[in-house]
Structure 1
Amino acid sequence: MACVPETICTHLTLGTLDVCPYGKESSCSTTVENDNARRRHHRAGNELAAAAAEQRRRWGYSPELMLCDDPWKITKKLTQSDLGYLSRLLISKDLAEDLVLPVLTPEQRVALYQNGTQILIWDMDTQSLHYLVFKFWVSSRSYVFIDNWTKDFVKRRGLKKGDEIKLHWDPYKKCFDFSVLYSN
């Protein structure tokens, strides 16, 4: 018996065949199995679509379209206060809450409001690894990267007012990638 269009043949064949090459003794799946597989596939597709939608909402890009979209959603033109004696990089509240907080562990989120949480930063331009502390400053109600910002980034990279930097969360390395987009 040949496979009918509503069923799936479980035999592997090369080429395109409209019927099962094994005839009556075929172990083609039944329509019920096909319907169950279709429902499972549909549910899995919905879960993937929801995850992709969350990625698009948070980062503004889809992992499936990464080659077409710019993943660098945290960009900042450096101000004098980012380069001054406070030794901190100020991140806007919206960017921090949309793009940084969601990638932190629950423990890191708690620490964020106390002493801060250590964040791994990979400088893509110089291929070097650094640590900064991400913290919420209650006094100014702002999010900042502190500790070693001036030493490891401003001085080492020769950053100046007006330079534009970019950050991107790398889910595979579990760290932020850093790069200088534009330098005066």
Structure 2
Amino acid sequence: MPPYTFKKILSASDVGNQSRLLLQRSDAENHILSHLSEENNRAIQAGQGVRIRVCDRNSNTEHELVLKRMVNTTGSYVLNGGWIREFVNRRGWEEGQEIGLFWNIDNNRLDIYMLPPPPDQNNPN
């Protein structure tokens, strides 16, 4: 099982035309922002996007995405700036799939895994 500190089930908006991955406020603050510099945190809290390195651990490819806080609406955090192109379209990710995320301290980046689907409860095989 790959390491992760939080999980997310991809929603229609995560894989659709909004071109971003929506992150729960507590997950972003506890597991991502806590690893960023004070300067980057100030910029994010002001609604500015900050570029971070993100690794697709299933394909072992690294990308640069933008982490931003939606200060004028929900206050939630989003990853955009290539999310749809580099993860959804390139990898064929779909609504309902589950990803695991964690901040890789050794490489100073966010690692994302597509998690295997849970075993079918109705099929014991």
TM over 0.5: yes
Letter matched to residue 85 of structure 1: N
1:115 Cα deviation from its structure 2 partner: 2.2
Please tell me whether the aligned partners of residues 55 and 62 of structure 2 are also in contact (alpha carbons under 8 angstroms): yes
Q: Please tell me whether residue 137 in structure 1 is matched to residue 70 in structure 2.
A: yes
- Residue 26 of structure 2 aligns to a residue whose secondary structure is helix
| Higher share in helix | 1
- Residue 22 of structure 2 aligns to a residue whose secondary structure is strand
- Residue 27 of structure 2 aligns to a residue whose secondary structure is helix
Q: Please tell me whether residue 89 in structure 1 is matched to residue 89 in structure 2.
A: no
1:171 Cα deviation from its structure 2 partner: 0.8
Q: 1:149 to 1:70 in 2, by over 3 A?
A: closer
1:96 Cα deviation from its structure 2 partner: 1.1
1:122 Cα deviation from its structure 2 partner: 1.2
Where does residue 125 of structure 1 map in the other structure?
58
CA RMSD of aligned residues (A): 1.8
In 2: Cα distance, 1:162 partner to 1:182 partner: 12
1:71 Cα deviation from its structure 2 partner: 3.7
List structure 1 runs of 4+ shifted beyond 3 angstroms: none
In 2: Cα distance, 1:137 partner to 1:183 partner: 30
The structure whose Rg is larger is: 1
| Higher share in strand | 2
Q: Percent identity, aligned pairs only?
A: 34
- Residue 115 of structure 2 aligns to a residue whose secondary structure is strand
Provide Cα deviations, 1:7-33, integer angstroms capped at 9, x if missing partner.
Answer: xxxxxxxxxxxxxxxxxxxxxxxxxxx
In the superposition, the TM-score normalised over structure 1's length comes to 0.59
Where does residue 156 of structure 1 map in the other structure?
90
In 2: Cα distance, 1:114 partner to 1:137 partner: 6
Please tell me whether the aligned partners of residues 159 and 183 of structure 1 are also in contact (alpha carbons under 8 angstroms): no
- Structure 1: unaligned runs, 5 residues or longer: 1-68
Where does residue 32 of structure 1 map in the other structure?
none
Q: Please tell me whether residue 116 in structure 1 is matched to residue 58 in structure 2.
A: no
In 2: Cα distance, 1:117 partner to 1:157 partner: 24
In the superposition, the TM-score normalised over structure 2's length comes to 0.85
1:123 Cα deviation from its structure 2 partner: 1.3
- Structure 2: unaligned runs, 5 residues or longer: 119-125
Letter matched to residue 31 of structure 2: L
Q: Please tell me whether residue 98 in structure 1 is matched to residue 44 in structure 2.
A: no
Please tell me whether the aligned partners of residues 32 and 110 of structure 2 are also in contact (alpha carbons under 8 angstroms): no
In 1: Cα distance, 2:6 partner to 2:54 partner: 13
